Homo-oligomer: A and B are copies of this chain.
């Protein structure tokens, strides 16, 4: 797509916002190609984004919010006053509503809930009870229940009568309840077509349906959907009353978000998603918080070099290899971290498998350590013509790669056991260990072989 066309998009939006023509904005946004919308809006100034939402008819504004990536949508909502946010959220499905409310600051979320209709507010509070990543936080609350004594005919009639209201429901099942409100069965929607008008649901329904407790975790839900081919599973509270439906698609979406979050946190974006449209001081502060911890860890590793300054001064060629030693060991260890995190996510290993993981890592680490150590050792030897320099550098790298894969493979398991976040903490802990260990080995080997090295 030619660049000029693109610029026109944003310029046109800008002009329409300036003239506050809600209708024209509406139809223009509709004409922006799918996938171009988030960026067109990102290019607007904060004030323009605020006025854009304010100018649009409420339904369109809500659909726009719903269509943006969640982080961007939350940034938009932050610009608006509580009453408008409440009206926007009222237009959205329950799951999106709860997600967005949860991501707003506590203060704004409170203000928004206060501005809601009483019924809406009660629903929002109910959904807000659950953490984001358990069944109660992922579920939708638009579902259909009928008493077990209803007949198929009753259900079909009810559906016809309220067709309008149910049109937005993602219904594949009908949930059947006992007189004391327990969930007792499930009926597939299509079974209503089977010409059994007068039969009560209790005779047709699947009894003892698979359910998820409201506090089931994301991983438990994924395992559930891996085992059963259902599109959605009813979520029940302690008294077996149905409180919502968690759908396969909600779980997959949560898995994608979790993986994206792991990626960000493992690269030092912690404390929430960062968009470049956020204020510079916020972005800088969050990034610095993580970098500061790294400085401390780096100092610990550097103190090893500081303790060996004399050795290093005597064999200055070693200084050329220290950053390489640090980097190669870190890279080897990070590969092991990645595999452990992935196997944890797939349920192939658990924290108690540390020994088994280590056995499988050290086999690879020994081979790779020997290969890399030999390679770098020979380089050092030929460069300075001193085999002992090669021995020191190559030997340290060889052993350190084994240390690195051992640490890298097991650290995520230990962090998981301590209920810490492996994505954030594995990298910094790993490199601190490998740096300390690597520098210590290279420099103490050199100190031991000093007479032989000095002749170079």
Interface residues of chain A, those whose CB is within 8 Å of chain B, are: 3, 6, 34-39, 42, 66-69, 71-72, 156, 159-160, 163, 166, 168, 170-172, 189-190, 192-195, 219-220, 223-224, 226-227, 229, 231, 247-249, 252-253, 255-256, 258-260, 262-264, 266-269, 273-276, 280-281, 283-284, 287-288, 290-292, 294-295, 298-299, 301-302, 305-306, 309, 312-313, 316-317, 319-324, 326-328, 331-332, 334-335, 337-339, 341-343, 345-350, 352-353, 357, 360-361, 363-364, 367-368, 371-372, 375-376, 379, 383, 431, 435, 439
CB-based contact A193/B276 at 8 Å: no
**B residues within 8 A CB of A383?**
306
With the chains together, A346 CA to B257 CA distance in Å? 11
A331 CA / B258 CA spacing, docked (Å): 22
Smallest CB-CB separation from A347: which chain B residue?
B38
Which B residues are in CB contact (< 8 Å) with A295?
324, 328, 372, 375-376
A387 smallest CB distance to B (angstroms): 19
CB of B327 within 8 A of CB of A294, answer yes
CA distance A218 to B189 in the complex (A): 30
A331 and B274 CA atoms in complex are apart in Å by 16
CB distance B312 to A316 under 8 Å?
A: yes
Knowing A72-B348, A263-B262, A364-B287 are in contact, say whether A334-B192 is a contact too (CB < 8 A).
no
Contact assessment for A263 and B256 in the assembled complex, using a CB-CB cutoff below 8 Å? no
Q: A34-B227, A252-B252 are in contact. Are A338 and B72 (CB under 8 A)?
A: no
* Distance from A456 Cβ to chain B, minimum over Cβ atoms (Å): 12
Of A156, A223, A260, A372, chain B has the most CB atoms within 10 Å of the CB of: A260
Q: Report yes or no: A299 in contact with B379, Cβ–Cβ below 8 A.
A: yes
User: Nearest Cβ in chain B — how far from A40, in angstroms?
Assistant: 10
Main secondary structure of the interface of A (DSSP, over half): helix
- Quickly give the copy total for this chain: 2
What is the minimal beta-carbon distance from A358 to any residue of chain B, in angstroms?
A: 10
Q: Given A256-B255, A320-B302, A328-B298 in contact, is the A190-B171 Cβ separation under 8 Å?
A: yes
CA distance A311 to B322 in the complex (A): 16
Q: Is the pair B67, A34 in contact by a Cβ cutoff of 8 Å?
A: no
Q: Show 15 A/B contacts (Cβ-Cβ < 8 Å), sorted by A.
A: A34-B224, A36-B347, A39-B350, A192-B193, A259-B260, A260-B345, A267-B335, A268-B334, A276-B348, A287-B364, A291-B332, A295-B328, A306-B383, A323-B323, A323-B326
Contact across chains for A323 and B298 when beta carbons are under 8 A apart: yes
Answer whether A364 and B283 are a contact pair too, CB < 8 Å, given A219-B35, A294-B331, A347-B39.
Answer: yes
Closest to A330 in B: B327
A447 to B342, CA, bound (A): 47
A352 to B2, CA, bound (A): 11
- Give every chain B residue within 8 A of A275 (Cβ-Cβ): 339, 343, 348
